Amino acid sequence: MTQTTRIPRTVSLYEIVRTHPEAAIRLSSAGIGREYFDHRIVDAARAMGIPVARLTGLLELEDEESR
């Protein structure tokens, strides 16, 4: 059974990419570039105009597949 790790919305994209290098590939494939890595998840989603749930969903899927 796979488990999904919930990622706090206050974590920066940089921290996620640093701890889960595969996340950079997933973010890149969704069109999210390095210019957003210094933003917290909430701020990055707001700056891109996408729902926070979509952004966290991308990151949570990465963790789920790696188990």
- Report the predicted TM-score, pTM, of the whole model to 2 decimal places: 0.75
Is residue 30 one of the residues assigned to a domain? yes
Got the DSSP string for 1-67? ---PPPPPTTSBHHHHHHH-THHHHHHHHTT--GGGTTSBHHHHHHHHT--HHHHHHHHHHHHHHT-
pLDDT tens digits along 19-52: 888 888 989 988 888 999 999 999 999 999 999 9
Is residue 5 one of the residues assigned to a domain? no
**Cα–Cα distance between 55 and 60 in angstroms, integer?**
9
Range of the domain at 23: 13-65
Q: What's residue 5's pLDDT?
A: 66
Using alpha carbons only, how large is the chain's radius of gyration in Å?
A: 11
Domains identified in the chain, total number: 1
Is residue 47 one of the residues assigned to a domain? yes
Residue 2 reports pLDDT greater than 70: no
Is residue 29 one of the residues assigned to a domain? yes
